[in-house]
């Protein structure tokens, strides 16, 4: 399986072209599955998931004119015949894993059984991570919240961290968690996207994560 780990999906032509190169065939000839659960812990999560799958968000992904597009609902997989959903995943050319809460997403990637399937997927399958979808592929990561949502997830630790922005200090909760472990580094997305997530605050964040950490610029989505 190939990994395309981004901050904001195919937000520029370079990342769009990279996706096409990884697929090794046109997007219009490729089958995709959209994986939305990371959005659910937040207000109107169901509505935001619908906006994403219907192509009404700023980060283009589902609307890229795939040959076919389906929704893989991780929270439902434990209740389904495994042969049914495994076949759907194996037939997909791309898995489009959406943003928001990486702790919740990591929990369901593992507890649904999807993460166990990753090593056996075709080397041609492309995993496209967006923000939390990228963070969940790491061995260990830290995520910041103004108020952590009450939802399923396996947290290693949590602590307060103070960020500095134009409005003064902002106290956030930094939650550490284990991801799927397909890459040996952590990811901080959306750096320099807003005043609270600038490079200085990202450096303070990264210092609390054991091991190498890469920051992704939201605008250009580059390491």
Q: Is the dihedral of CA 26, 6, 42, 55 positive or negative?
A: negative
Indicate whether 158 belongs to any domain: yes
Ramachandran angles phi, psi of 167, nearest 5°: -90, 5
Confirm whether 222 is domain-assigned: no
Range of the domain at 104: 2-217
Where b means 16+ CB within 10 Å and e means fewer, 73-96 reads bbeebeeeeeeebbeebeebbbbb
Total domains present in the chain: 1
Q: Which neighbouring-strand residues pair with 97?
A: 35, 129
Per-residue pLDDT of the chain (223 residues; tens, 9 = 90+): 999 999 988 878 889 999 999 999 999 999 999 999 999 999 889 999 999 999 888 778 999 999 999 999 999 999 999 999 999 999 999 999 999 999 999 999 999 999 999 999 999 999 999 999 999 999 999 999 999 999 999 999 999 999 887 778 889 999 999 999 999 999 999 886 555 567 788 888 999 999 999 988 755 443 3
Is the separation of the CB atoms in 126 and 94 below 8 Å?
A: yes
d(CA 203, CA 182): 23
- Classify residue 99: in a domain, yes or no: yes
- Residue 106 counted as domain residue: yes
Task: Examine residue 57 and state whether it is found in any structural domain, yes or no.
Answer: yes
Separation between Cα atoms, residue 94 and residue 103, nearest integer Å: 22
Residue 184 lies in a domain: yes
pTM, two decimal places:
0.92
Domain membership flag for residue 223: no
CATH number at residue 174: 3.40.50.880
């Amino acid at each position: 399986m190939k990994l395309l780990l981004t901050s904001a999906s195919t937000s520029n032509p370079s990342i769009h072209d990279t996706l096409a190169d990884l697929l090794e065939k046109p997007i219009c000839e490729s089958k995709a599955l959209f994986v939305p659960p990371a959005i659910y812990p937040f207000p109107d999560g169901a509505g935001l998931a619908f906006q994403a799958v219907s192509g009404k968000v700023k980060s283009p992904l589902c609307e890229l004119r795939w040959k076919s597009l389906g929704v893989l609902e991780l929270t439902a997989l434990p209740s389904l015949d495994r042969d049914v959903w495994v076949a759907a995943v194996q037939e997909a050319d791309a898995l489009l894993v959406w943003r928001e809460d990486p702790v919740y997403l990591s929990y369901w990637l593992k507890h649904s059984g999807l993460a166990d399937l990753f090593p056996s997927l075709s080397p041609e399958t492309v995993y496209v991570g967006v923000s939390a979808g990228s963070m969940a592929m790491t061995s260990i990561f830290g995520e910041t919240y103004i108020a952590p949502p009450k939802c399923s997830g396996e947290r290693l630790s949590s602590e307060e961290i103070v960020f500095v922005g134009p409005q003064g200090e902002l106290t956030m909760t930094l939650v550490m968690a284990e991801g799927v472990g397909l890459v040996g580094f952590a990811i901080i997305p959306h750096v320099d996207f807003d005043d609270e997530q600038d490079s200085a605050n990202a450096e303070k964040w990264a210092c609390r994560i054991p091991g190498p950490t890469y920051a992704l610029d939201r605008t250009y989505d580059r390491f």
